[in-house]
Amino acid sequence: MTPAAAMARALQLAERGKASTHPNPRVGCVIVRDGVVIGEGWHVSAGGPHAEVHALQAAGERARGADVYVSLEPCAHYGRTPPCVDALIAAGAARVSAAMVDPNPKVSGRSIQKLRDAGIAAEVGLGEAEARVLNRGFVSRFTRGRPWVTLKLAASVDGRTAMANGESRWITGAEARADVHRLRAEAGAVLVGADTVLADDPALTVRDWTPPDGTPLRQPDRIVVDGRARVSAAAKVWNDNGARRIRLGNVTAPGAEISGVDRIAVDTDIAGRLLLPEALQALAAREINEVLVEAGARLGGAFLQSGLVDELLLYVAPMLLGDAARPLAVLPGLERLADAIRFEFEEVVRVGADLRIRLRPHLLS
């Protein structure tokens, strides 16, 4: 097996943890000796053994003198498990190739140096671009101080999200809704506004999607932007299923405490709206890597105006709802085309009867 193929396999293994490792990164590891894979593993869930440990256990004594390929720099600190770099040194690996440096300042190059100090050849960079995409939320939390934000919207062909009376079930089909459940699981946290909860009383759980390869399903954290504390304790979003439940509230309107719900007080602007950058920083401080925003027109518009959307996922249903129906997002009117919020198409795929359009913000050079 070539080095490129070994790293590709490590990244493939890491993908298996997309819905279960939060807040830890997704990591895969492959151990090769004389061109043959002798051990491999992936990080399944936080608190459990890391990818390198699984791979070393599979390789056993054959790991001595072998080459190790791992999708992220091995950890160098004690957390819920011992440092993986020490395990690799003790196993007698001859060479370690990491796709990227760990952005966590507790690691961030320390393991690479420790391996070299132990006489082990260590290098970084093979498969780096793919590794950074795989752990985009983890990287964002440590480098930008906020989670990666995906804004998900669903609309008709004419850009409407609900009838004038609020009826919206269901604009998209069952396949698209199951796809959103997958997104919830992979993001690890779902954020909605109080208006959505009051109108639809959603549970925001993962029900219509099952992880592949027997990976355990970790229900996403549920976050409600509720500046005026309007959402009652009886709302389904607060049901306890092991996930964290967080209410982002106005510092001047604390409201009643809800059992099991973590309240984060956030400052507001002069119009009384929560400051979204501050809110995201608070979520990052609670080790939230990614947030799937399933917003209504107002909160979705606020995120779009804020410039905090890293990815826009638009599900488009083949129907027309008319100009009396509710818009995709509430945005201020523009006088010039040059002031438009612009995106670039990343992907357009069919999901059942609907289309899923993936867009990224257009960054001016």
Q: What is the pLDDT of residues 264-309, one digit of tens each?
A: 988 877 566 788 999 999 999 999 999 999 988 889 999 998 889 9
Rounded Cα distance between 184 and 211, Å, is 12
Q: How many CA atoms lie within 13 A of 283 on its CB side?
A: 35
The class of domain 144-361 in CATH terms is alpha beta
The answer to which of 195-204, 329-338, 343-352 has the lowest mean pLDDT is 329-338
Q: Average pLDDT in the 229-256 region?
A: 85
Residue 241 in tokens: 């299923």
What is the distance between the alpha carbons of residues 106 and 83, in angstroms, rounded to a whole number? 11
351 phi and psi angles, rounded to 5 deg: -125, 100
Residue 353 to residue 172: CA distance in whole angstroms = 8
What is the gyration radius of the CA atoms in the chain, in angstroms?
22
CATH 3.40.140.10 segments of the chain: 3-135
* pLDDT value for 332: 77
| CATH number belonging to domain 3-135 | 3.40.140.10
Average pLDDT for the chain: 90
Cα-based distances in Å from 173 to 92, 230, 352: 54, 30, 7
CB 204 within 8 A of CB 185: no
52 in active site: yes
Residue 26's φ and ψ, nearest 5 degrees, are -90, 125
- Active-site entry in 52, 130, 290, 294: 52
Query: 265 phi and psi, to 5 degrees?
Result: -85, 130
Sign of CA dihedral 286, 289, 294, 296: positive
Which residues 6+ apart lie within 8 Å of 127 measured at CB? 4, 7, 8, 10, 11, 71, 99
Are 115 and 75 in contact by the 8 Å Cβ rule? The answer is: no
Instruction: Please say whether the beta carbons of 75 and 83 come within 8 A.
Output: yes
User: With bands split at pLDDT 50, 70 and 90, how would you rate the model's confidence at 254?
Assistant: low
What is residue 274's predicted lDDT score, i.e. its pLDDT?
Answer: 81
Amino acid (one-letter) located at 201: D
- Output the pLDDT for position 166: 72
**More confident of the two residues 273 and 262:** 262
**Residue pair 29/53 in contact by the 8 Å Cβ criterion:** no
CATH 3.40.430.10 residue ranges of the chain are 144-361
- Percent of the chain at pLDDT exceeding 70: 95
Side-chain-side CA neighbours of residue 53 (13 Å): 12
What is the 8-class DSSP label of residue 299?
Answer: H
**Side chain identity at 332, as an amino acid letter?**
P
Instruction: Give residue-wise pLDDT tens across range 209-238.
Output: 888 777 778 899 999 998 888 899 999 999
